[in-house]
Amino acid sequence: MFAAGELAMTASDLAQWDIGMINQSVMTPASYKQLETEVLLANGVGSHYGLGVSIAGGDHRLISHGGEVSGFTATNAVFPDDRAAVVVLTNLDATSASSDIVSRVAKLLFATTDPATPKATEQARKIFEGLQKGQIDRSLFTSNANAYFSDLALKDFASSLGPLGTPQEFVQERQSLRGGMTLRSYRVKFPNKTLRAWTFTMPDGKLEQYMVAAVE
């Protein structure tokens, strides 16, 4: 199979390799650092690729790679900082099933049990609906955030988000602490587009940031 290397193994065997990556027991720490460091392009933009592996940052650093040969697909995802890994092998052709399953399992692994999550999610959803109309409740935001949401910014949100209609799904995907604030990230799904919305909440409950971007 040339570059595919004709590698064949069970999910549990591949998991043992992942444990070696997490424990850094096969190579030296310096070699693992090289393997897992994102290569930068000449203009300084990240490539999302290390030495033969895909690299993703965010709340849970991810080292991953997929594979596909006739009749089989695979996805191997390692979260070294969380000491966790997800391995999915399927006997299917030309399908994203393995990566889809990895994504769903990872969400369960890192699901939050914070009792404030339902209320925060509902608040974030209502703010999103307001932005679709070019409106916000300024009492929910800090002075910095209110300065950002100028009339021009609100018109821009309304023109880009309004035509999408009602979201099919608005769910929290992850949560962490950053700079003394609570970061919450949400998946906002429409029939033909998926967005990511995320918030930074101050200790007093005021929102310092509310941002929306398309999911690549």
Q: Report pLDDT digits (tens) over 36-77.
A: 999 999 998 889 999 999 998 777 889 999 888 888 889 999
pLDDT of res. 5:
60
Domain(s) of CATH 3.10.450.590: residues in the chain: 117-214
pLDDT of res. 121:
96
CA atoms of 198 and 212, how far apart (whole Å) = 7
Sole residue written with tokens 């699901």: 111
Long-range Cβ pairs for the range 184-193 (8 Å, 24+)? 184/117, 184/120, 184/121, 184/124, 185/59, 186/121, 186/124, 186/125, 187/215, 188/128, 188/212, 190/164, 190/165, 193/164
**How confident is the prediction for the chain on average, in pLDDT?**
90
pLDDT of res. 212:
97
For the chain, residues with pLDDT lower than 50 are none
pLDDT of res. 216:
61
pLDDT of res. 107:
82
Domain 117-214: give its CATH code.
3.10.450.590
CA atoms of 106 and 6, how far apart (whole Å) = 27
pLDDT of res. 4:
59
Tell me which residue of 215, 194, 203 sits closest to 58, measured CA to CA: 215
pLDDT of res. 3:
61
CA atoms of 210 and 94, how far apart (whole Å) = 37
